[in-house]
């Protein structure tokens, strides 16, 4: 089955990039919006052991992606007032993405011993906290230059905080477990952060197709790593990095 899904995903991504660069934005949005749902189907079909939190992460993310295309297509096809629909899509999609990432955070947190982390990784936590605060501040400076909706600034702060929390938790998880599963989770989370940086640049700085395609590339790469981690389990060999 993987021999079927991987070529389909590759074709979808290529069609998305081609349509985006050629200016067929509805088609590019369509192909972009179906890639994560395809990965969700792939996970349901191929994964031998399914995790409820990871499944919810995929579901919330897929719904948000599909909703974005439906709104875009409806506004363009029926020549509707986009301001109302785009505003609603922004709020709902942000909430769905937040829920998706929170589910992934819960999944990763279950692999951690919080008492061990707080006792042995407290310096890492402090450094990550300061780094996250700085990154949130920088991202907020960028987004505040061209806010479009009411409460958008608050939504952006919450969203960026959750994404960076995901990255921090996945990094601590890698320090704690030091195995392929934790590595793939960290690489996936890191790719998500790169994707979000590209999205901020695309929405608030410059609507260049290249930035949009790069953001989607990082998103697809993130889900590739997340899918790979589903094939591994955490073993008893922990604290390897810490004890060197």
The domain locations on the chain are 2-229
Instruction: Quote the DSSP letter at residue 146.
Output: G
pLDDT of residue 216: 95
pLDDT of residue 102: 97
User: 66: how many CB neighbours lie within 10 A of its CB?
Assistant: 15
pLDDT of residue 1: 52
What is the number of alpha carbons within 13 Å of residue 225 lying toward its C-beta?
A: 19
What is the number of alpha carbons within 13 Å of residue 172 lying toward its C-beta?
A: 29
Which portions of the chain are predicted below pLDDT 50?
236-237, 239-244
Please report the DSSP string for 157-217 in residue order.
Answer: HHHHHHHHHHHHHHHHHHHHH-SHHHHHHHHHHHHHHHHHHHHHHHHHT---HHHHHHHHH
For 112-169, write each residue's pLDDT tens digit: 988 899 999 999 999 999 999 999 999 998 888 788 888 889 999 999 999 999 999 9
For the chain, report the end-to-end CA distance as a whole number of angstroms.
Answer: 41
SS3 letters across 40-59: HHHHHHHCCCCCHHHHHHHH
Find all residues with CB under 8 Å of 3, minimum gap 6, and list them: none
pLDDT of residue 232: 81
């Amino acid at each position: 089955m993987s021999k079927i899904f991987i070529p389909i995903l590759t074709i979808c991504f290529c069609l998305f990039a081609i349509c985006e660069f050629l200016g067929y934005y509805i088609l590019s949005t369509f192909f972009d919006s179906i890639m994560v749902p395809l990965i969700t189907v792939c996970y349901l079909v191929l994964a031998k052991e399914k995790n409820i939190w990871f499944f919810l992460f995929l579901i919330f993310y897929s719904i948000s992606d599909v909703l974005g295309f439906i709104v875009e297509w409806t506004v363009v096809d029926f020549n509707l007032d986009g301001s109302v629909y785009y505003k609603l899509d922004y709020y709902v999609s942000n909430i769905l993405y937040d829920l998706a990432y929170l589910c992934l955070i819960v999944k990763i947190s279950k692999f951690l011993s919080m008492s061990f982390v707080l006792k042995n990784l407290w310096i890492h936590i402090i450094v990550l906290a300061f780094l996250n605060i700085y990154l949130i501040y920088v991202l907020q400076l960028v987004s505040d230059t061209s806010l479009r909706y009411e409460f958008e600034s608050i939504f952006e702060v919450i969203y960026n905080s959750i994404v960076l929390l995901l990255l921090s938790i996945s990094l601590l998880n890698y320090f704690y477990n030091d195995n392929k599963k934790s590595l793939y989770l960290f690489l996936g989370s890191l790719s998500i952060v790169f994707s979000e940086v590209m999205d901020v640049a695309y929405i608030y700085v410059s609507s260049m197709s290249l930035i949009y395609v790069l953001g989607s590339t990082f998103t697809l790469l993130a889900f590739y790593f997340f899918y790979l981690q589903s094939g591994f389990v955490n073993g008893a060999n922990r604290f390897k990095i810490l004890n060197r």
